[in-house]
């Protein structure tokens, strides 16, 4: 399949974790040259400032994410039908909990093959910002990345405890109490398992809070942790932060 049926091109671009210096050179070039950039609402302003031409940003639609998604895709199609180069800008990496795969299929159904441009996900950049090695010789030899928000708001199937495993949870703030309960009671994590919340990773307002799993929800309440924040769980959290 060609990338275009009517002269337009669609790029599905990862906007990285927040710091404009952490986007790829290709992403930067596309933001500066595209006729139209259609952006997720979570993209920080410092990244949006790189856009040179028309920019459209997702509207706030509380509880209506599907409606907002439809509008974003419709905007992309408007540009494509005009023969424009369109960038669909997504936070982090489009194919890691970013609905990127769904968008590829959506554009294919309409005759367009998106060109994929990867981005750095906060699943990897947030632990590094907090000086947490998600793998470390003799401590952690595996990493599992999951989300606190499963299909239609359900809780995803969390992994059982293993002492050499690091668990990274995206979109977890609103499910802190559920995560704490499931990991402790069902997945048999020790109450003393080190945890860290990394809020606004790679942004000027970045903040890191450390604690243990038994206080996971309490940390959110007492420290006023807000989204976007990445949760890291496992012994690797304390290796470089003791």
The catalytic residues are 40, 60, 171
Gap between the Cα atoms of 70 and 191, Å rounded: 42
**Integer angstrom CA distances of residue 188 from 180, 182, 200, 213:** 11, 8, 29, 11
HEC per residue, 125-180: HHHHHCCCCCCECCCECEEEEEECCCHHHCCCCCCCCCCCEEEEEECCHHHHHHHH
Gap between the Cα atoms of 31 and 227, Å rounded: 25
What is the dihedral angle through the alpha carbons of 98, 104, 110, 115, rounded to the nearest 10 degrees?
A: 110
What is the dihedral angle through the alpha carbons of 185, 187, 191, 192, rounded to the nearest 10 degrees?
A: 180
């Amino acid at each position: 399949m060609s990338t275009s049926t009517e002269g337009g091109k669609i790029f599905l671009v990862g906007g990285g974790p927040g710091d404009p210096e952490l986007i790829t050179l290709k992403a930067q070039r596309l933001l500066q040259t595209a006729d139209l950039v259609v952006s997720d609402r979570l993209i920080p302003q410092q990244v949006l400032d790189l856009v040179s031409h028309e920019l459209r940003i997702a509207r706030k639609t509380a509880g209506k994410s599907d409606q907002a998604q439809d509008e974003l895709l419709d905007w992309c199609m408007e540009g494509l039908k005009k023969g424009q180069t369109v960038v669909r800008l997504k936070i982090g990496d489009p194919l890691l909990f970013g609905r990127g795969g769904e968008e590829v299929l959506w554009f294919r159904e309409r005759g367009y093959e998106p060109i994929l441009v990867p981005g750095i996900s906060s699943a990897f950049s947030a632990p590094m910002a907090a000086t947490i090695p998600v793998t470390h010789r003799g401590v952690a030899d595996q990493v599992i990345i999951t989300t606190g928000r499963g299909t239609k708001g359900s809780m995803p199937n969390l992994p059982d405890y293993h002492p050499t495993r690091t668990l990274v949870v995206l979109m977890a703030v609103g499910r802190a109490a559920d995560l704490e309960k499931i990991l402790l009671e069902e997945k048999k994590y020790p109450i003393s398992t080190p945890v860290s919340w990394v809020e606004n990773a790679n942004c000027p307002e970045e903040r890191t809070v450390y604690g243990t799993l038994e206080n996971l929800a309490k940390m959110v309440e007492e420290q006023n942790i807000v989204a976007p924040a990445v949760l890291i769980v496992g012994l690797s959290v304390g290796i470089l932060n003791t």
